[in-house]
Copies of this chain bind each other. A is one copy, B any other.
Amino acid sequence: MKKYDVIIIGGGPSGIVTGVTAKKKHPEKSFLMIKKEEKGLVPCGIPYIFHDLESIDQNQMSPKPFVDAGGEVLVDTVVKVSSEDKFLVTESGKELAYEKLVFATGSSPLVPKFIEGYDLDGVEYIKKSYNYINALKAKADKAKNIVVIGAGFIGVELSEQLAKYPDKNVSLIEAEPHCLYRAFSVDFAEKADEIVKDAGVHLYTGQKAEKIIGENGKVKGVLLSNDMTIEADLVICSIGYVPNCNLAKEAGIELDDRGTIRVDNYLRTSVKDVYAVGDCSQTIGFITGRTDNIMLASTATAEARVLGNNLFCIKLLRHFAGTLSVFSTEINSTVFASAGAIEQTALDANVQFVIGKAQDVDRHPGKLPGASKLIVKLIVSPENGEIIGGEILGGKSVGEMINTVSLAIQKAVTVYELISFQVGTHPLLTTAPTKYLLIKAAENAIENIKNNKENC
């Protein structure tokens, strides 16, 4: 039986980054990556295949950096892992032994079996599969009335892209009161609703898809909880993802209460020499220390770097143990981003907080071309001023500005420190130095801390 020092199951972002990082550190070891399809996709780029990108091939993600570093790739599907005897079996019948095994098996779209009609022809998903998405793009090109169920990031981005075609009628259904409700507080989420509507999407929030209606086995419409029916020749469900953990479970590897593979800070599972990384592995919330279900490529690759560096022994301590959700998206030219706690999640977890808020434009003077309105909100512990979350809305610069907030949270920076934080500003790039918004929001939080009455 052929044996590799390391076998990685999965060719997504966490598989690739684990492979590249570890192989570069250990060029003498043999590495194999087993992936299901020849071609891979940039996961977060998938919505843009539907309009902004010229073709699906512009959104390919390949394990080339891993191969360049000397790793081997096998296109096949692993059907069984024997974690006791340290080998695996593939669909094509190959048996391969390993010294170390990495599950980077990712996640799959949640299929809403609780909605009648979910299995009709014309009900589709955003699967992270080149072949599947290629086929779905062809279906979407032909469809006139498209209903997207679920207004999280993927649902919102997909709807916005599809609504750019003047001949398509795009509806978006969300059971929560607003779009992007998991990532933004109500004031920001309300703005997201407006912008989604401005983009030409018919938005139905606070509405469940009660039933998917069909005729001759083919989808015809969606019935909402308010009894309204929306006509549809294509329904795309984007109501979340479930981790791909069956293979690991069958191999006797322990899962956690959320059904993801239990791991320690160094991505080590309950079985020696078996690791799990990315969507299929356990996530611990940054603030609460409880299990969480954040599935982001950015988070996955952060874990993958930790794993890649520490696969054979712990060399680089993991400095940020919990997973901080850092989200960003652009809808119809407005960027929304958040990091860490938002008001809802802070309330849910019984975390005391005050808000600091500031707004302005992202140029100075504001009359310079390309200026966008910018709003910054910080979620702050009133006890010591520590920043535990942030939300930003504005132009393109928000995509990187949120990473300053993210670093501030990860380094336990307080609003009192931010007062003397030295930033770079420029007329064409940022708000004026006199009112740089992270600092103004910190000042506002300090005022609010003073006026805050203890609530727990």
Query: Which of A103-111, A172-180, A329-337 contacts its partner?
Result: A329-337
Is A329 within 8 A of B421, CB to CB? Answer: no
Is A429 within 8 A of B367, CB to CB? Answer: no
Q: What 1/0 mask marks residues of chain A from 320 to 354 whose CB sits below 8 Å from any chain B CB?
A: 10011011111000010101000000000000000
Q: Which of B53, B302, B370, B430 contacts A421 (CB 8 A)?
A: B302
Does A300 interact with chain B (Cβ within 8 Å)? yes
Q: Please report which residues of chain A, range 202-236, place their CB below 8 angstroms from some CB of chain B when the two chains form the complex.
A: none
Does A74 interact with chain B (Cβ within 8 Å)? no
Does A285 interact with chain B (Cβ within 8 Å)? no
Q: What 1/0 mask marks residues of chain A from 356 to 387 whose CB sits below 8 Å from any chain B CB?
A: 00000000110111100000000000000000
Known: A17-B434, A403-B404, A404-B407. A305 touches B420 (CB 8 A): yes
Q: What 1/0 mask marks residues of chain A from 157 to 175 whose CB sits below 8 Å from any chain B CB?
A: 0000000000000000000
Residues of B within 8 A of A83 (CB): none
Tell me the smallest distance from the CB of A27 to a CB of chain B, in Å: 12
Does A422 interact with chain B (Cβ within 8 Å)? yes
Residues of B within 8 A of A42 (CB): 364-365, 427, 432
Known: A52-B369, A400-B397. A422 touches B299 (CB 8 A): yes
Residues of B within 8 A of A407 (CB): 404, 407-408, 411, 413, 421
Between A301, A328, A399, the greatest number of chain B beta carbons within 10 A of the residue's beta carbon is seen for A399
Residues of B within 8 A of A443 (CB): 21, 305
Which chain B residue shows the least CB distance to A49? B365
Is B436 within 8 A of A298, CB to CB? Answer: yes
A271 to B402, CA, bound (A): 42
Residues of B within 8 A of A433 (CB): 13, 44, 296-298, 300-301
Does A138 interact with chain B (Cβ within 8 Å)? no
Is A410 within 8 A of B422, CB to CB? Answer: yes
Between A44, A54, A306, the greatest number of chain B beta carbons within 10 A of the residue's beta carbon is seen for A44
A305 to B423, CA, bound (A): 13
Residues of B within 8 A of A44 (CB): 364, 425-427, 433
Does A293 interact with chain B (Cβ within 8 Å)? no
Q: What 1/0 mask marks residues of chain A from 68 to 98 whose CB sits below 8 Å from any chain B CB?
A: 0000000000000000000000000000000
Between A59, A420, A426, A436, the greatest number of chain B beta carbons within 10 A of the residue's beta carbon is seen for A426
Known: A402-B424, A403-B423, A423-B403. A305 touches B439 (CB 8 A): yes
Residues of B within 8 A of A21 (CB): 443
Residues of B within 8 A of A335 (CB): 429
Residues of B within 8 A of A115 (CB): none
Residues of B within 8 A of A52 (CB): 368-369, 428
Does A401 interact with chain B (Cβ within 8 Å)? yes
Q: With contacts A301-B433, A411-B413 known, what are 8 further pairs, Cβ within 8 A? A: A42-B364, A42-B427, A328-B429, A329-B426, A330-B426, A406-B421, A406-B423, A407-B407
11 contacts between A and B (CB under 8 A): A44-B433, A45-B365, A48-B428, A54-B367, A61-B432, A297-B434, A302-B421, A317-B416, A320-B421, A399-B426, A406-B424
Q: Taking beta carbons and an 8 Å cutoff, which residues of A are in contact with B?
A: 13, 16-17, 21, 42, 44-45, 48, 52-54, 58-61, 296-302, 305-306, 309, 316-320, 323-324, 326-330, 335, 337, 339, 364-365, 367-370, 396-404, 406-408, 410-411, 413, 416-417, 419-430, 432-434, 436, 438-439, 443
Q: 3 shortest A-B CB distances, which residue pairs?
A: A399-B429, A326-B424, A58-B367
